Amino acid sequence: MFSSRYCEWFALLLAGTLAPASESLAAEPAACAAPADQSADAAACELAALLERQFIYPEQGARYAAVLREGVAAGRYAALDKAAAAEAMTHDLQTTAPDGHLSVRLREPDKPGGGSQAEAKAPFPILEEADWIAPGIAYMRINEFPYDPAITARVAQFMADHADARALIFDLRTHHGGGVEQMDAILPWLFAEPTRLVTMETSWDVERELGSPVADVASMTLLGDTAMARREHWVTPNADTRLRDARVYLLTSGRTASAAEHFALALKRTGRATLVGAATAGANHFGGQADLPGGFFAFIPVGRTFDPDTGEDWEGDGVAPDIAVAPELALERALTELGFAPEEAKRLSDAHKPTLTMERRKR
């Protein structure tokens, strides 16, 4: 998939499941000997062709393609049931070169439910808490940045309703990824002048083939005359200045992934927030879902996001916190930094424990 909206580029794979995409990456016939059917071999061959053509680093994409074709030739996937075959393909890819997003999965049926479209599909609460945690201290725990106007509206309302806060705490310790829509509802409140945040890039060949999901996003600026298709994420302040001097804390863990890492790096490199917790998941390479034969799908990483000052991204290493503490202590530490007595900080932290795991996902 190369979706019409940016959020569907970012992986949600660290959640353990992924909602079906609205569109799929264009595929071409597999370049290995597999039947034209719905088998695991057919899926592996088609995925090999996609990775060879679209992976962010061509040489690495070619290595991925080679190992999948070797697996087909050896009969490694055909001998397994589909769930085990998906795991075997993922293992072969990650053993070849670790990547925080690349994975092969089987589709699952949509889960019925109410609320927003994203909440109906997700196997976890999205905007889990958004309220005052104490007088003058606004607190939001959000577990995904989906393309969902209802969630964006709720985030925007939270910012408006808490514009008199002396401090804001964004709890991203269990955040699995997404896009920029909710970020762009938050950031204009926090900055006093237009500010460059991060840079995104993919190859021009991939952009010409698949289009750009952020071409119509106002906060993204296309750079001219570059070897890669590069877009800078900028924040433009809004007219309300009440939160310009508010202290901002962002809580992180090894489970904080993808778009949440984008948000973390943007706030860290601009000095607008203090990151508290552990290094993030290290899942940098953005992309989209590709539907494959046999009910399989894969996430194809086609680009990267990086610090425009250094050129460095966070793949593998994650974004380092400013204050390193065990993730389960991050809220307690942020509150003590804000002047709360240790006993009260612990009480509030215990009352607002994340319901999802904060453990780094194994690749």
- Which amino acid makes up residue 215? A
- The mean pLDDT value for 169-176 works out to 97
Quick one: average pLDDT of 300-318?
Answer: 96
Look at the chain and count its residues: 363
Confidence bin at 108 (pLDDT 50/70/90): confident
User: Stretch 1-23: mean pLDDT, rounded?
Assistant: 35
State residue 142 phi and psi, 5-degree precision. Answer: -125, 135
Mean pLDDT throughout 257-285?
97
Closest by Cα among 82, 95, 121 to 296: 82
Assess whether pLDDT exceeds 90 at residue 43.
yes
d(CA 238, CA 243): 10
Is the model's pLDDT at 150 over the cut of 70?
A: yes
Query: Helices marked H in 255-337 — which ranges?
Result: 259-269, 330-337
Mean pLDDT for the stretch of residues 140-153:
96
Check if the beta carbon of residue 231 is closer than 8 Å to that of residue 220: yes
Instruction: Calculate mean pLDDT across residues 284-304.
Output: 94
Compute the distance between CA of residue 130 and CA of residue 200 in angstroms, rounded to an integer. Answer: 29
Q: Is the pLDDT of residue 113 over 50?
A: yes
pLDDT band at 86 (very low <50, low <70, confident <90, very high): very high
Angle at 249 between CA 319 and CA 166, to 5 degrees: 160
Say how far apart CA 97 and CA 46 lie, in whole Å.
19
- Going from the C-alpha of 58 to that of each of 55, 62, 303, 363, the distances in angstroms are 6, 6, 11, 21
Q: Is 0.85 topped by the overall pTM?
A: yes
In the predicted structure, residue 8 carries a pLDDT above the cut 50: no
pLDDT at 224: 86
pLDDT of residue 361: 75
Residue 91 near residue 64 (C-beta atoms within 8 A):
no
Mean pLDDT calculated for residue range 16-41: 56
Cα–Cα–Cα angle for 19, 21, 23, nearest 5°? 170
Phi, psi of 206 (to 5 degrees): -65, -40
Predicted local distance difference test score (pLDDT) of residue 109: 65
The region of weakest confidence among 54-68, 106-120, 288-302 is 106-120
CA 222 to chain centroid, in Å, comes to 21
Instruction: With a cut of 90, say whether residue 59 has pLDDT above it.
Output: yes
Q: How far is CA 109 from CA 18, 123, 300, 353, in A?
A: 11, 12, 21, 30
Residue 109 is which amino acid? P
- According to the model, what pLDDT value does residue 52 have? 95
In order, the DSSP letters of 192-225 are SS-EEEEEEEE-HHHHHHH--TTTT-TTEEEPSS
Report pLDDT digits (tens) over 204-248: 999 998 887 777 899 999 998 788 999 999 999 999 999 999 999
- Contact of 12 with 281, CB cutoff 8 Å: no
| Domains present along the chain, CATH in parentheses | 6-106 (no CATH), 117-284+304-351 (3.90.226.10)
38: confidence class by pLDDT, cuts 50, 70, 90 = confident
Mean pLDDT within 139-154 = 96
Kindly state the percentage of the chain with pLDDT values over 70: 86
Range 271-297 average pLDDT: 96
Phi-psi region of 72 (alpha: psi -120 to 50; beta: other; left: phi over 0): alpha
Using pLDDT thresholds of 50, 70 and 90, give the confidence band for residue 117.
low
Cα distance between residue 91 and residue 276, in whole Å: 32
Dist. CA 6–CA 22, nearest whole Å: 12
> Can you list the positions of beta strands (E) in the chain?
104-106, 127-134, 137-142, 167-171, 195-202, 220-222, 229-235, 247-252, 274-277, 286-291, 296-306, 323-324
> Is pLDDT above 80 for 111?
no
* Distance in angstroms (rounded) separating the CA atoms of residues 169 and 320: 17
pLDDT (average), residues 288-306? 95
Greater pLDDT, 302 or 20: 302
Residue-level pLDDT at 215: 79
Range in 10-19, 131-140, 245-254 the model is least confident about = 10-19
